[in-house]
Structure 1
Amino acid sequence: MARDQIDMTPLQSRDELVAWVEAGIKPPSEFRIGTEHEKTPFTLEGRQPVPYEGARGIGALLEGMQLLLGWEPIMEHGNIIGLYDVTGGGAISLEPGGQFELSGAPVENVHQTQSELMAHLAQVREIATPLGIGFLGLGMTPSWSRSQIPVMPKGRYKIMTNYMPKVGQYGIDMMYRTCTVQTNLDFSSEADMVKKLRVSLALQPVATALFANSPFTEGKPNGFLSFRSEIWRDTDNARSGMLPWVFEDGMGFERWVDYALDVPMYFVKRGETYIDVAGSSFRAFFEGRNNSLPGERPTLSDWANHLSTIFPEVRLKRYLEMRGADGVPWGRLPALPAFWVGLLYDNGSLDAAWDLVSHWTAAERQALRDDVPRFGFKARIKDRYLFEIAKECLKLSHAGLRRRNRVDHSGRDESRHLEPLERILEAGRTPAEEMLDKFNGDWGGSVEPVYQEYAF
């Protein structure tokens, strides 16, 4: 999650909300790629969750990272809860159960994403290993119960933890037990945003299958390939899902703002304090009708923070966020930005991808999204297996990256970052199925080996 924004200008009109999102428009020459990934810390000895407190806790890890990197700490009530690079580089933040997130800097190509990742992992290891902390690259913690997982000292999470059980059965699992990799991409106009949003929403299940990596809960197979994706189907449907209205006529920035105005809020931040307003809409706040802050009007910061608490499969802020993938081991992380950059940043591939999905109905898109957590590549839409569609998408992405022709120091273009996905399609199985085979074979019915084989 990004840092909470600070801009205390009170908002006067809906137009300002639209303008804030619209300010994301950039010429294609300024398009950037942002990648965020989460990983689960565990104690190298005993493979337990890592608490925040103590000489070998998450707080100590963040303090060590601060000294090593010289980044600015993000503090809340005397606790260090994250770090950011003041020169516009990345940020490190904590998810509710201690999942450690790198929000990468906006970079120009996927080679830079990979370099940034390698540097980050080297830095994290330097501090974490002496503390006895390792990190796991899975979409969900494979062996711990909800009650075992520590709570990080962040006010917004306290409010969300209280609210989640009221709106879905899996919100607590989403917060405390899952990890994702996301990529954030730009648009050059309102029409470009709409096209990219539609294509990426329709094809999000492809990314879910390619990255499906959460088949275990509390030491046993849970019946899913991406249980993380299943969790999102019953976390809080007022703020998640496939957004069928995005495909209707009249879609644009205004339509997104109208949607966001009606999504229930979690909190309002004033100074270091989070005020619980969970369940009341931003629209009510905008009209001065928020019971916790009667007569008060929201600020631009409140708007930016609210937009960061909406969780559909693709999210619009001042860029588009791809949200369908499970967290994976480090070697596969750059494949996510590569996949979406190839599809969305090359006009030929974007047009072809739109042709691929434009005749799907809202009901068909929803059914595919509902089936993919359990069936992966064997999910179907119309008369096609998702496996065939994934193959086609990978071909389009590959072609898009070739045409972009951003080469690294040894003359290779960004399509090389798709290799892990090409291997998955050659094998014809999701990563989760490969893991289940190991569980039923070499691992002898134990998830413990993941802490070696899938660690960072």
Structure 2
Amino acid sequence: MSTREASTADDPVIESPDQLILPMVRGEKPPADWRIGTEHEKLVFNTADHSAPPYGAPGGIRDLLKGMEQFGWTPVEETGADGTTNVIALKGADGAVSLEPAGQLELSGAPLENLHQTCAETGRHLAQVKQVGEALGVGYLGLGMWPDKTREELPIMPKGRYDIMLRHMPRVGSMGLDMMLRTCTIQVNLDYSSEADMVKKFRTSLALQPLATALFANSPFTEGKPNGFLSYRSHIWSDTDPHRTGMLPFVFEDGFGYERWAEYMLDVPMYFVFREGKYIDAAGLSFRDFLEGKLSVLPGERPTQSDWWDHLSTAFPEVRLKSFLEMRGADGGPWSRICALPAFWVGLLYDQGALDAAWDLVKGWSMEERERLRNEVPRLALATRSPDGGTLQDLGREVLKIAHAGLKSRARLNAAGDNETGYLETLDEIVASGKVPAQRLLDAYHGEWNGDITRVYEQQF
């Protein structure tokens, strides 16, 4: 999730509805300027006993962030309600390192030109955190969810917005706290050239998001035992907060565009307002009221552009629009799959021929079929029945062919003369076998691990 540093000096008050679509309009870029921004989270554990390290304990999350400064990262601080100043993020040439609510460590990578750079960035980051972790007795898991921890066993990071969300989540769903405390994901942020290009990319990627969830399904355990799902992380979103999650039927309706997205976001209840370095609890309040100066926690004040940008970051559908499109369907995983997710979506969305072909595959699906996919994939993954007959394994073969063609057409070569298609190999193997990562973990659990969930900690990056 986003980390705020301070309000900007040039932060105009929103005085016209036209200003609400400015972030989206300003996101438009010619294809030559399209970039790839990859985000990935990992679970942090103490190697001695597999516990989750708290923030302030010796060898804990604060020390982990401090240790990263040797690689040129600059700390970002936040002052808590008790007046304590804490390092809650880092900024550097490779983007930002931030904390999820229970100490999951995230790299929000820099906007890069090609997948070779993306995978190199990921490799640098993992090498850095491993070096710091070895000194602190800390390791990392690439999974979609904590395999053995209860909520009560997990620490809470000292970030103001998380205090607000932790109070609010139980009011709107039964699994919001699980989402915050126990899950990890891989995401990729991609550009568009125009409103029409955004709409086509949004519709195509939203329809295919269940396929991505299936391919990356990697969260089959809860509190030490199989949970009956292959992507329990994805299932958690089904009862987190109905106001800000889901498959968004309106995206497929005639007339969808920037204004319709802004209308949707105005209907998403607020979480907070950021003022003078602190988060003010506005959970459940209306941004529409804020526009009219009627927000109860800030009477008479109207929102700024930064307030609107903050609000745009508080919806969590399968695909999200800000000044770029975020693909949000994948479980966390190791290095190879961190590289594979952006390869999958760049191959489909950054070449016009590939985008057209991918849209042709899904444009005839009904909303009911899209919702069914979303609901069945967390349990069935590639065995889910496709709207076109067959299974998602069959659909995956077709979609990966399109992604390969898209990456080949981009012709972005590394120093050895290789194009970007090699980053899809791990997904090719998954589709060929029909076994997603979670199924291989379950095979190990029921086989060589003999039901010993602690063996999962051998699955480090």
Bin for the TM-score computed over the shorter chain: over 0.9
Distance 1:335 1:388 in 2: 19
Matched with 2:374 is: 369
Secondary structure of the structure 2 residue equivalent to 1:233: helix
| Alpha-carbon distance, 1:325 to partner | 0.1
Structure 2 residue aligned with 1:108, among 110, 113, 134?
113
Secondary structure of the structure 1 residue equivalent to 2:360: helix
Distance 2:207 2:53 in 1: 37
Q: Indicate if the aligned counterparts of 1:35 and 1:104 stay in contact, CA closer than 8 A.
A: yes
Distance 1:196 1:96 in 2: 30
Aligned 1:152-301 pairs, distance under 5 A: 152-301=157-306
Aligned 1:346-361 pairs, distance under 5 A: 346-361=351-366
Distance 2:394 2:166 in 1: 39
Structure 1 residue aligned with 2:343, among 335, 338, 341?
338
Matched with 2:4 is: 4
1:34 aligns with 2:37: yes
Distance 2:304 2:377 in 1: 39
Per mean C-alpha deviation after superposition, the further-off stretch among 424-433 and 236-245 is 424-433
Distance 1:144 1:72 in 2: 29
Structure 1 residue aligned with 2:21, among 18, 22, 25?
18
| Aligned amino acid, residue 78 of structure 2 | M
Matched with 1:389 is: 395
Structure 1, residues 392-447: CA drift from partner, whole Å, max 9, x if none? 11110011001111111111110000011111112111111111111100110122
| Alpha-carbon distance, 1:182 to partner | 0.1
Distance 1:84 1:151 in 2: 22
Aligned 1:415-430 pairs, distance under 5 A: 415-430=421-436
Matched with 1:82 is: 89
Matched with 2:404 is: 398
Structure 1, residues 53-95: CA drift from partner, whole Å, max 9, x if none? 122110011111123324243333410000112x5x4100000
Aligned 1:24-103 pairs, distance under 5 A: 24-77=27-80, 78-85=85-92, 89-103=94-108
Q: Indicate if the aligned counterparts of 2:147 and 2:223 stay in contact, CA closer than 8 A.
A: yes
Gaps of 5+ in 2: none
Per mean C-alpha deviation after superposition, the further-off stretch among 207-216 and 76-85 is 76-85
After TM superposition, the score normalised by the length of structure 1 is 0.98
1:410 aligns with 2:430: no
| Alpha-carbon distance, 1:291 to partner | 1.0
What fraction of aligned residue pairs are identical, expressed as a percent?
56
Structure 1, residues 18-66: CA drift from partner, whole Å, max 9, x if none? 1222100000000000000000000000111111012211001111112
| Alpha-carbon distance, 1:312 to partner | 0.4
Distance 1:112 1:298 in 2: 38
Secondary structure of the structure 2 residue equivalent to 1:333: helix
| Aligned amino acid, residue 12 of structure 1 | E
Matched with 1:316 is: 321
After TM superposition, the score normalised by the length of structure 2 is 0.97
Q: Indicate if the aligned counterparts of 1:66 and 1:73 stay in contact, CA closer than 8 A.
A: no
Matched with 1:440 is: 446
| Alpha-carbon distance, 1:373 to partner | 0.2
Distance 2:218 2:189 in 1: 21
Distance 1:148 1:166 in 2: 22
Q: Indicate if the aligned counterparts of 1:4 and 1:301 stay in contact, CA closer than 8 A.
A: no
| Alpha-carbon distance, 1:272 to partner | 1.8
CA 1:101/1:70 → structure 2, altered by over 3 Å: closer, same or farther? closer
Distance 2:328 2:338 in 1: 13
Structure 1, residues 253-273: CA drift from partner, whole Å, max 9, x if none? 001001001100100010221
| Alpha-carbon distance, 1:111 to partner | 0.6
| Aligned amino acid, residue 205 of structure 2 | S
Structure 1, residues 264-323: CA drift from partner, whole Å, max 9, x if none? 010001022111110112112112121111111011111111111110000000000000
| Aligned amino acid, residue 442 of structure 1 | E
Secondary structure of the structure 2 residue equivalent to 1:325: strand
Distance 2:246 2:253 in 1: 16
| Alpha-carbon distance, 1:379 to partner | 1.1
Report the aligned-residue RMSD: 1.1
